Amino acid sequence: MQFTPGPLLSKINFPSDLRKLKKEDLQQVCNELRQYIIDVVSVHGGHFGASLGVVELTTALHYVYNTPDDLLVWDVGHQAYGHKILTGRRDVFPTNRKYGGISGFPKRSESEYDTFGVGHSSTSISAALGMAIASKLKGEDRQHIAIIGDGSFTAGLPFEALQHAGVANANMLIILNDNNMSIDPSVGALKEYLCDITTGKTYNKFRDDVWNVLGKMPKGKFTQSMASKIEAGLKGVVNKKSNLFEAFGMRYFGPVDGHNILKLVETLRDLSKIPGPKILHINTVKGKGYDLAEQDQTLWHAPGLFDKSTGKIEKKIFDLPQPPKYQDVFGHTIIELAKANKKVMGITPAMPSGCSLKYMIAEMPDRAFDVGICEQHAVTVSAGLATQGMRVFCNIYSSFMQRAYDQVIHDVAIQKLPVVLCLDRGGLVGDDGPTHHGCYDIAYMRCIPNMIVAAPMNEKELRDMMYTAQLDEQQLPFTIRYPRGEGVMPEWRTAFEKQTIGKGRLIADGKDICILSFGHVGNFAITASNDLAQKNISACHYDMRYCKPIDEEILHSVAKLFDKIITIEDGTVMGGFGSAVLEFFNNHGYNKTITMLGIPDRLVEHGKPAELHRECGYDVQGIFETACVLMGLGKEKVTANKLELN
């Protein structure tokens, strides 16, 4: 399908083209840019509301600043679609997030205008500060602009960067894009503070009046000095709360209407002449320009495909009941457990919709909390609750848990606190790509002393693991990792059964080859085993359930019965489940042929999960081909993880 940009946008191949236009043309550019995003995303999918909300800001930034020499650093990056369109990627924008297409996030290898690769929140100020310090050392005269949302500001990293920026005195501008949203509504005291600033216009109007008067006086050092002192005094008298950012040594400006393109251009031009660290507070509406996206900002963060005229979101219609998403199994199961056990609590860092803790937050608001984009805090507050006997399910995406690793070790594992760490999006997540793939959690969790590491093969196992983890007799940290997307059981509300920690189960008996699977990918192995039977290959299959502690009884049995063994995991083969099996065999002197299938030791780009599983060689076809080669039925060597199987 062809997408036709508007008459002005069609002539903008790079920001240099944009800067040739008159200011009076910029609103039309914004209208055309917004419409182009709607046209493409409605057909091809992707993040939606965030990019619509910063159309005017994006246009103003590239109009005022000499990009790419002046450096723009986007936070998270799902709001950078307009930026991509204006910086040479308009015609390839329909390939956004598709296999082999452009990334859904800024990416340095993709464009010189993408100054810093992002995908996780709260990194922009630190990155821009590093660039500004480097420019200062090299004697380069350039601007450094970090664009960060109020949701991202709730993390600790921006405040660490602010306290450094104030003393570094580097030339940088922080634009605080305040829309009261991340994916879900922003939470916490900072949200309330920003709301106070936005609604408390007394100081800002008074300050503007004073500067207007002073501006008519003869210019000189005395006037500038006097103006600064008067401004500082006003902040203490009229609105003491405005001192938060300035306490960090940042000059504060705003709030400004983030959808007034001419005002933004004027403001940015003025600020570009002021040296040193400064912050511009703008107010925007997530989903601006598309009514439905403005009204339900969480739903329209990334709605999938939709009819742009009616707003009807496409949904697949099935004749038979379908399996639920793993996240929803978690969300409903924790409520069941909490009703039976008053000690059960839920914590998530800003992902109540993504991990489905939203159901418990709505039903039990005193026992389930969204703590904002604060993964470190989420883990440690869970640990604090656990010291008082609470059974806390701390739900964090696998890739985001990487940000709280020290807390997992220092605050949970060393103290043997029975926090249940539910890692959603374990494995290759698809279109979001390498910043969001949950590749490493099996490896980084199983090396921690006192840690239990489990992965369910289906919905029932997830429920049973959650049930087992919250029992009083279970007194160790417990990690449960599961993938993005649907399970395999339409009838999933099964009765709870206590699992024996560290015990796997036999799925199918066989005599020729053994498959050891960990997690949901065991379902791929079931299909592959059936296909192998058509080749007269009898495959034994164990669902191991736990990689720490690992089922040694099963492994001893496998070592005695099989010479050819395949391990399968939706995680990195370096240090993961397959490595655990290899370590066991080595430690017990077993000399067997073990082929590990999983995520290779390289970055896997974006694409549909099925496309990425195929690329990495651990989908049904990859398992089948690997087994055939091991059994001598393949004429050519199969490649898995881009390494030859031997």
Structure tokens at 404: 């709280």
Cα angle 360, 362, 367; round to 5: 50
State the catalytic residue, choosing from 32, 56, 375, 615.
Answer: 375
State the catalytic residue, choosing from 97, 207, 288, 403.
Answer: 403
In angstroms, the first-to-last Cα distance of the chain is 45
Q: Is position 535 annotated as part of the catalytic site?
A: no
The set of long-range contacts for 127-130, using a CB threshold of 8 Å and a minimum separation of 24, is 127/73, 128/71, 128/73, 128/172, 128/174, 129/161, 129/164, 129/165, 129/168, 129/170, 129/172
Q: DSSP 3-state assignment of 459?
A: helix
Identify the pLDDT of residue 413: 98
Torsion of CA 568, 570, 575, 580, to 10 degrees: -40
Torsion of CA 458, 304, 432, 573, to 10 degrees: 20
Q: Per-block average pLDDT, block size 10, for the chain (646 residues)?
A: 92 97 97 96 92 96 97 94 97 94 95 95 94 95 94 88 90 92 60 58 47 49 50 46 73 91 95 92 92 88 89 82 95 98 96 94 96 94 97 97 97 98 96 94 98 98 98 98 96 97 98 98 98 96 98 98 97 97 97 95 95 97 96 61 33
Q: DSSP 3-state assignment of 265?
A: helix
Q: DSSP 3-state assignment of 11?
A: helix
Type and span of the H or E element at 528 = helix 522-533
How far is 428 from 438, CA to CA, in rounded Å? Answer: 6
Q: From its phi and psi, is residue 76 left (phi > 0), alpha (psi between -120 and 50) or beta?
A: left
Structure tokens at 373: 């984009």
Q: Is position 403 annotated as part of the catalytic site?
A: yes
How far is 304 from 43, CA to CA, in rounded Å? Answer: 9
How far is 307 from 19, CA to CA, in rounded Å? Answer: 33
Residue appearing with tokens 């664009």:
147
Q: Are 604 and 103 in contact (CB under 8 A)?
A: no
Specify the pairing of strand 420-424 against strand 391-397: parallel
How much is the pTM? 0.86
Angle of helix 522-533 relative to helix 620-630, nearest 10 degrees, comes to: 50
Q: Are 55 and 1 in contact (CB under 8 A)?
A: no
Type and span of the H or E element at 557 = helix 552-561
Distances (CA, A) of 305 to 6, 48, 96, 312, 463: 22, 10, 13, 9, 31
Identify the pLDDT of residue 197: 54
Please give the DSSP secondary-structure letter assigned to residue 63.
H
Task: Establish whether domains 9-190+243-301 and 326-481 are of one fold.
Answer: yes
How far is 22 from 579, CA to CA, in rounded Å? Answer: 61
Looking at domain 9-190+243-301, its CATH architecture is: 3-Layer(aba) Sandwich (3.40)
Structure tokens at 53: 């909300």
How far is 413 from 379, CA to CA, in rounded Å? Answer: 11
- Residue 158: cis peptide before it, omega within 30 degrees of 0: no
Identify the pLDDT of residue 645: 32
The burial of 261, by beta-carbon neighbours within 10 Å (0-12 exposed, 13-18 middle, 19 or more buried), is given as: buried
How far is 646 from 643, CA to CA, in rounded Å? Answer: 9
Could you give the residue ranges of the DSSP H alpha helices within 247-374?
Answer: 261-272, 291-295, 326-340, 358-363
For the chain, give the longest Cα–Cα distance.
95
Q: Does domain 326-481 have CATH number 3.40.50.2300?
A: no
The burial of 553, by beta-carbon neighbours within 10 Å (0-12 exposed, 13-18 middle, 19 or more buried), is given as: exposed
Q: How many helices (H) and strands (E) does the chain have?
A: 25, 19
Q: Is position 286 annotated as part of the catalytic site?
A: yes
Angle of helix 609-616 relative to helix 620-630, nearest 10 degrees, comes to: 10
Residue appearing with tokens 């039990």:
364
Closest CA to 346 of 360, 328, 325: 360
Identify the pLDDT of residue 144: 97
Looking at domain 505-644, its CATH architecture is: 3-Layer(aba) Sandwich (3.40)
Give the domain ranges of the chain: 9-190+243-301, 201-238, 326-481, 505-644
Report the 10 Å Cβ neighbour count for 127.
20
Q: DSSP 3-state assignment of 254?
A: strand
Strands (E), 343-462: 344-348, 368-370, 391-397, 420-424, 452-454
How far is 640 from 623, CA to CA, in rounded Å? Answer: 9
The residues with which 514 forms a beta bridge, in sequence order, are 540, 565
Strands (E), 376-467: 391-397, 420-424, 452-454
Specify the pairing of strand 643-644 against strand 639-640: antiparallel
How far is 183 from 191, CA to CA, in rounded Å? Answer: 14
State the catalytic residue, choosing from 34, 97, 278, 286.
Answer: 286
Structure tokens at 380: 């440690």
- Residue 255: cis peptide before it, omega within 30 degrees of 0: yes
Report the 10 Å Cβ neighbour count for 410.
13
How far is 364 from 86, CA to CA, in rounded Å? Answer: 46
The set of long-range contacts for 625-630, using a CB threshold of 8 Å and a minimum separation of 24, is 626/566, 626/595, 626/597, 627/513, 627/515, 627/528, 627/532, 627/537, 627/539, 627/566, 628/532, 628/535, 628/537, 630/513, 630/564, 630/566, 630/593, 630/595
